[in-house]
Structure 1
Amino acid sequence: MRRNSEEQCQNYIRLYGKKDNGDVYLCGTNAFKPRCRVYKKQPDDSFKMVTEEDGVGKSPFHPMQNSTAVYTDGMLFSGTVADASERDPLILKIHQGSMVRTVQHDSKVVNDPDFVSSFDIGDKVYFFFRETAVEHINCGKAVFSRVARVCKNDKGGNYLMKNLWTSFFKARLNCSIPGEYPFHFDLIQSTSDLGQGNPMSTTHSANRTDMVYAVFQTHPNSVRGSAVCAFRYSDIVKTFQGKFKGQSSPSHNWLAVPQQETPVPHPEQCSNDTHQLGDKALNFIKSHTLMDKAVPAAGGAPIVTMHGINALFTALAVDWQVHAADRRYYDIIFIGTDDGRVLKSINKGHGTKVESVIIEDIQVFENKAPVTSMKIFNKKGVKKLIVLSNSNVASIPLQRCAQMKTCRTCIGLQDPYCSWSNNECVASDRGFEGILTGHHENCGVEDTTTVPTKSTTTTTLAPPTTSQKPCECKCESPKKDGLQSEHNVPDNSEENVPRKEEMTEKKESSISAADTAIGIVCAIVLSSIISFIAGYKVHSCRKGDQMTANPGEIYGTLTKNHTNKLLDNKEPRYVNHSDLERNNSVKQLNLLVNIQPKGSNLPNGGAPAKTVVNLTQPLPDRTYV
């Protein structure tokens, strides 16, 4: 039996639900003995405990175990584990003393899952989690992200599947960079709440639909990266209405089940009375829980990605359909990282084009504690972003328009919250802004010395720039030639005359790039001809008895000189790799290995530890990138 620390043996609240009558339902770990309580609100706004009950199957045992739950229509739906050893994961429904759960110890149903979130819509409840992919086991171990669904009124089977789900099905979530060989982000970390939005900017508010955003990461032993993908609810429903995936025997591959073998009506439809389902339908449901197709990401690609040795995305929150001054609607995404930062991003692309902009990059936690969760607080016209870590809670405003003091810096933010109105940057949609380009004609001519450059993928919030102090030099004033100073300083004083270097940069060359290239080529050819003639004359003078020079010697000399020049430079532009000697020389190869222990402090896997391993091996004959 493993030994637990004193900190872990406290009571961690892991489930909160509000009943229809206003009572509060709470569950906690209770020192590895989960318990649940019901509190009733009193007239003086205090709460009094009414009942207490066992919390197994509702709350996890360990405070760091990933779990989720939703309380709706008087029923509790939870995704957690039923034992302290985490060997019995389950999705459970509790209603009026009766329980319905997933099949116990069946890897085809749930296989070592890490639950992330859940929500209900209509007559169904959806669960998001990641698990070891049983359909990929013949090709090696892999972890895929899933979305699963159950029907609220599922009572289980009559005899064959008594107290077991008859409506549990799951599908893979596809968050990948498209291509001939797609690059997948397989580890789901967090999702937003279900909301009505559109991953693409739109001019009509009616062009919104039910959808959810999710954060994904790559495997720890893969290329380090993370992404945000959007999924439409209609695409999720369509996937569950499609074909199932199955295998004829444990040694066979997983293939799509023919349509004629699927029961009618399609098992995706919720039954009014699951006790009436026949044995044939129940046998099919029990052995076919996985859908054939994956749920595609909206737009076919991630909305935001981050690669390399930078931080990883961990959590997110969405402010749905914000109306901007350009008369378009945008979903504004706030993304938390594993080094305590929050990024604010939008997709400014029109139509089906994904073109993300990082508006702000805010260091919320100075100790770089990983962001574990985020929520947008909106009450009585006050909107804030609540950011949480394992030991900190912070509140930051959704916008900081007032910090921009000039028109160009305000417009350059490309922030749907901000616009330039009445000579100030305000949080309003009644001014003017340039989200698409970061510029606006009403701001005047762009001054490259004061406007910060902005990238559509890596830009962070830049502080307002101030003009530099004019140069106070005592040198003699040059003649006026009609050029203005770089800082727009009057030229009626010798001390305020622009420097020569500044004036030179402002001059526009009258010679085009094509003319310059032609002149260089002509000069090279002319110099080669002159050198050839001079060499020929010298050679003839030295050897008068040979009236005719051997062209082979001349060209051989030129070739030799050219070869020596390449060897002196030691960096030829073109190398014939077939002529290189293959001697299996030993060289050192440095590999960066990311190891992410499952029991880290992050709620969904934790920040990976970085280990550098030096491997010495002979270089291969071929290298592929």
Structure 2
Amino acid sequence: MRALPWLLLAVLCSAQQTPRLKLTLQDIPVLSFENGEKSTVLFYDAGSEQLYVGGRGVLRVLTFKEAEFNQTQVPLQVDEKAEKTCRSKPGAVQAECDNYIQVIQRLNGSSLIACGTNAGSPKCWFLSNTTKLQQDQRGQAVTISGENLAPGSPSQPAAAIAVEGNLYSALSRDKSTIQRSYGPRKLLRTEDKWLTDAEFVSAAWVPEKETNLDEIYFFYNEVNKTAGLDEEPIKARLGRVCKVDEGGKSILVDFWTTFLQARLVCGGPAHPQRFNQLRDAVVLGEGRKGRGMLYGIFASPWGTTAVCAYSMDKVAHAFRTSRLKGYGSGLPAHRPGTCVPYNSPSAPSRAVLAIIKDYPELEAVIYPEGQRPLYVLQTNDTYTRVVADRVWDASNASRTVLYLGTDKGKIHKVLQSRGQTVIIAELSPFRRDAPVSGLALDASTGHLYAATEFEVTRLPLADCGQYRETCWKCVLAKDPYCGWDPDSKKCSAVSQEANDTASFLQSLDPGAEDVCEGAAEQVAQQALKKVSVDPTSYIYLPCPLRSHHAIYTWVKDGTKQYPCAMDGHSCTLRFGENTPMDRGLFKCTATEDGYREEITAYELTLNVACLPRLSLTVATGVLLLAITILLL
């Protein structure tokens, strides 16, 4: 195996790579699909209790109420003619000759559009009143062709976003396209030569202080057809168009006049780029107060994944100032790609449009903050999906929390703030291990929606009850959603609307002071477990890992330290040739950030006669079982 470059080693040293807590979530609403779904597209209306889930021949509308939900199914069946045509094609994948819902977007306050593959002939429906299909005067469902709105196959990567009643679609076909595909504004698309075998990942609307400057970004991978042996076979990119774009007058009449694209790199310019394939991306904006941050998941050829963060202000600066790749002359004062209204006096001239027609790529490369990943996931898992939230902590300071889905159905909750990146917890909400295929976060209701091909669920963002009823356990969680309430003496949710939780105790930054006022001197005394054992038996004493960031020690009679074996769930004291069994009081203690917790304690006595009629093998099994039961 090739050694990791020093860049990655530095990253590994700067962030906790292991989730601090591993939590199996219970009492959460879960919708299961008996046979699995090939595709699970999620859409929610911010502030509502409804989630739309695209499936095979059906749009599911889930209405949540606490830990329960009601389900309404809206059938969207494949056309018989399209299905017959699909099944007659040589080499057709019969499972794809159905209608898989791939696009769900709200166009306005009364209309939602849902588009499906329709056996290779994409088709769209419209919903009103959340669950009712719009109908014409004859009572038939109103439909339109989805040829330019949605992919024809569930395995075909695509992205879509609705902005002010207009649908923008990016389709990965033989001729990849980014289009304004539906709505009142003029329909536009990219020229064929601008994109090369692009596979789209996601899209984002980035509003500006002046609405005429609003931009729509698309994130995708392109095949690097000219790659040499030492070059990346795939390049990640971001493309940008202006919301006000209405096409050209005498050139680029039906095409974007503002489309520009740039290469997106997860790493620095002076080091080999190993994370070249973009898996997912999300922009955490600040409304019209600022452009925010872009977070992306990147994969290496060996399957390892990394998380990179980019300033959208710096991205915008690159689009405003960079030279255009391959264009040798100086750029005009009115730069190609500038957002201006169609009939504005400063609208681009024919000469400017001719430049962007042939040179739509920036020379500048977009690098992440610090020119390195936030961290690299060094486990057997890989990341598949990402969403982000901006959280106000107890001191009314802004924090960023990322939720990252893995290929094993886990979700990592990550604090990214002030130079630190900590995996707060690994959440296990699903009953079956399968890649997380969808994540959606509604900050206004405080919930995260997650899906695999087998299940859909909803999780609370502030799940403070997981951190138990002591100040330091709450504080050590480093969860900005939660703080210790000294009045009620509970770990409670920090208000995201009003600063009425300023008295809550938190310690989110490295090296912060002891906010629990001497809690480091406290220990959680549990009932002492008294165990009498046969000295000829092989026994071990388990100590469950409460935090995977703590340091665990076994101490006998308060003085002698014993080594323990870490097995992922326990720091286990094993007696053997190198650690002979002895009578005494054995305590397992965890220390983290100056806080100390006594996890468990055993008072061991030796008694050969305690199990006179049992064989050694049976006695050992009984003892191990007894210790395990005592521990629980």
Q: Which residue identity is paired with 2:180? A: K
Matched, 1:48 2:139: no
Q: Is the contact made by 1:154 and 1:271 (CA closer than 8 Å) also made in structure 2?
A: yes
Choose from 405, 411, 427 the match for 2:475. Answer: 411
Shift of 1:213: 3.5
Shift of 1:306: 0.7
Choose from 487, 491, 502 the match for 1:425. Answer: 491
Q: Is the contact made by 1:29 and 1:63 (CA closer than 8 Å) also made in structure 2?
A: yes
Shift of 1:367: 2.0
In the alignment, the residues of structure 2 paired with residue 346 and residue 97 of structure 1 have an alpha-carbon distance, to the nearest angstrom, of: 40
In the alignment, the residues of structure 2 paired with residue 284 and residue 234 of structure 1 have an alpha-carbon distance, to the nearest angstrom, of: 25
Bigger radius of gyration: 1
Structure 1 unmatched runs, 5+: 198-205, 248-256, 451-464, 475-498, 507-625
In the alignment, the residues of structure 2 paired with residue 329 and residue 8 of structure 1 have an alpha-carbon distance, to the nearest angstrom, of: 45
Q: Is the contact made by 1:385 and 1:395 (CA closer than 8 Å) also made in structure 2?
A: yes
In the alignment, the residues of structure 2 paired with residue 339 and residue 391 of structure 1 have an alpha-carbon distance, to the nearest angstrom, of: 12
Structure 2 unmatched runs, 5+: 1-88, 137-141, 495-500, 534-553, 562-632
In the alignment, the residues of structure 2 paired with residue 229 and residue 195 of structure 1 have an alpha-carbon distance, to the nearest angstrom, of: 16
* Higher relative contact order, chain-length normalized (CA < 8 Å, sep 6+): 2
User: What SS does the aligned partner of 1:319 have?
Assistant: strand
The 5 Å alignment of 1:373-452 reads 373-378=438-443, 382-403=445-466, 404-422=468-486, 423-428=489-494, 429=501, 430-436=503-509, 437=511, 440=514, 442-444=516-518, 446=520
Equivalent residue number for residue 37 of structure 1: 125
Equivalent residue number for residue 12 of structure 1: 100
The 5 Å alignment of 1:91-170 reads 91-94=178-181, 95-96=183-184, 99-104=187-192, 106=193, 109-120=194-205, 121=207, 122=211, 123-133=214-224, 140=231, 142-170=233-261
Change (3 A) 1:279 1:424: closer
The 5 Å alignment of 1:262-341 reads 262-273=331-342, 277-307=348-378, 309-320=379-390, 322-341=391-410
Change (3 A) 1:502 1:135: same
Shift of 1:239: 0.9
In the alignment, the residues of structure 1 paired with residue 185 and residue 243 of structure 2 have an alpha-carbon distance, to the nearest angstrom, of: 15
TM-score, structure 2 length as denominator? 0.61
RMSD of aligned Cα (Å): 3.3
Q: Deviation string for 1:151-189 (max 9, x for gaps)?
A: 23333334443312221110112322x484254422222
Change (3 A) 1:466 1:389: farther
Equivalent residue number for residue 171 of structure 1: 262
Count matched residues: 428
Equivalent residue number for residue 547 of structure 1: none
Q: Which residue identity is paired with 1:408? A: W
Mean CA deviation greater in 45-54 or 235-244 = 45-54
In the alignment, the residues of structure 2 paired with residue 273 and residue 21 of structure 1 have an alpha-carbon distance, to the nearest angstrom, of: 27
TM-score, structure 1 length as denominator? 0.62
User: What SS does the aligned partner of 2:286 have?
Assistant: strand
Matched, 1:357 2:411: no
Q: Which residue identity is paired with 1:100? A: L
Q: Is the contact made by 1:342 and 1:361 (CA closer than 8 Å) also made in structure 2?
A: yes
Q: Deviation string for 1:506-561 (max 9, x for gaps)?
A: 9xxxxxxxxxxxxxxxxxxxxxxxxxxxxxxxxxxxxxxxxxxxxxxxxxxxxxxx
Q: Is the contact made by 1:93 and 1:101 (CA closer than 8 Å) also made in structure 2?
A: yes
Q: Deviation string for 1:536-591 (max 9, x for gaps)?
A: xxxxxxxxxxxxxxxxxxxxxxxxxxxxxxxxxxxxxxxxxxxxxxxxxxxxxxxx
Q: Which residue identity is paired with 2:199? A: D
Q: Which residue identity is paired with 1:289? A: P
Mean CA deviation greater in 23-32 or 395-404 = 395-404
Shift of 1:270: 2.5
Equivalent residue number for residue 235 of structure 1: 314
In the alignment, the residues of structure 1 paired with residue 529 and residue 125 of structure 2 have an alpha-carbon distance, to the nearest angstrom, of: 71
Choose from 225, 236, 242 the match for 2:304. Answer: 225
Q: Is the contact made by 1:373 and 1:387 (CA closer than 8 Å) also made in structure 2?
A: yes
Choose from 38, 41, 59 the match for 2:150. Answer: 59
The 5 Å alignment of 1:474-553 reads 501-505=556-560
Change (3 A) 1:97 1:268: closer
Equivalent residue number for residue 467 of structure 1: 526
Q: Deviation string for 1:88-112 (max 9, x for gaps)?
A: 21111245595321112x2xx1111
Shift of 1:313: 1.1
Shift of 1:141: 5.3
Shift of 1:143: 1.3
Q: Is the contact made by 1:412 and 1:438 (CA closer than 8 Å) also made in structure 2?
A: no
In the alignment, the residues of structure 2 paired with residue 144 and residue 274 of structure 1 have an alpha-carbon distance, to the nearest angstrom, of: 36
